[in-house]
Amino acid sequence: MGHGWEGVVLKLMRGKDFEFTVTGSEEVTDHFRRVHFADGGMLALTGVHPTMWVRIWFDNGGKPHQRAYTLVDADPAAGTFSLEFALHDGCASDWARKAQPGDTVEATLQGTGFTAPDPLPARLFVIGDPASLPAINSLLDALPRVPATIWFETTHGSDKDLPLRLDPAHHDLHRVQRQDAGVHLVDEVKTALPGLLDDPAGAYVWIACDTATTRALTTYVRKDLGLAKDRVNALGYWRAA
């Protein structure tokens, strides 16, 4: 399958192409699926870093369609990793539901760099949802001793069963039901965050929700709360219909 104009752009940006092979899959909840892969030699070449992600190519009615996914439990020595899919309508979710051992999928690695804040923050604030769960867990694993407050937006009842990698000694979780296209989450964060933000210079805020929610929260923490650009990492993971 060709990758169309997006593939050409990624090539110009030094994207590297790989082929992954499905080795198994499991249903985490009725709306969340984990698929296991052999990496086609990628990790031996690239190594692994926190929140590392790849672009996976899917067929969408004969046209190439790519989506980015964070690696889960990547093992360079074994050449394996998993990807997690928050299931909804669409070709990527359809592929994940049907994936069987031996299936292959094409991928491009590009633009995946992440550097932990230096110095490490005194406190971490994380705002996300099921789509960004793998990246949240990767971030928490990478900064295990940093106290963290997490706002996790949920949609389905089964979202309460999603595997957040929490350490009760360091992590404080707030589940927030999705309402009003993300406005409820924004309001919850705006209500709570100022009282928790003792030292803006020592804080680090990581935001990965739908695009509109991410934009609203990023503007708030930068302009209203005065956090410096290098103390905020924000990326819109999906667009609300």
- For residue 114, what pLDDT is reported? 76
Output the pTM of the full model: 0.91
101-141 residue pLDDT tens: 999 999 999 766 677 788 899 999 999 999 999 999 999 99
Domain coordinates of the chain in residue numbers?
4-109, 123-234
67-102 residue pLDDT tens: 999 999 999 999 999 999 999 999 999 999 999 999
8-39 residue pLDDT tens: 444 444 578 999 999 999 999 999 999 999 99
- For residue 9, what pLDDT is reported? 44
158-180 residue pLDDT tens: 999 999 999 999 999 999 999 99
25 CB contacts (<8 Å, ≥6 apart)?
A: 33, 34, 35, 36, 96, 99, 100
Question: What is the rounded distance in angstroms from the CA atom of residue 130 to the CA atom of residue 31?
Answer: 9
204-234 residue pLDDT tens: 999 999 999 999 999 999 999 999 999 999 9
Residue pointed to by tokens 């082929």: 19
Contact 189, 217 (CB under 8 A): yes
- Beta partners for residue 72, in sequence order: 82
- For residue 14, what pLDDT is reported? 56
Reading the block at residue 117, the tokens are 């804040």
pLDDT of 5 above 50: no
Question: Which CATH superfamily includes the segment(s) 4-109?
Answer: Translation factors (2.40.30.10)
Question: What is the rounded distance in angstroms from the CA atom of residue 71 to the CA atom of residue 69?
Answer: 6
Q: Which CATH number fits domain 123-234: 3.40.109.10, 3.40.50.80, 3.40.50.720, 3.30.1180.20?
A: 3.40.50.80
- For residue 12, what pLDDT is reported? 40
Question: What is the rounded distance in angstroms from the CA atom of residue 125 to the CA atom of residue 207?
Answer: 8
The predicted model gives 141-164 an average pLDDT of: 96
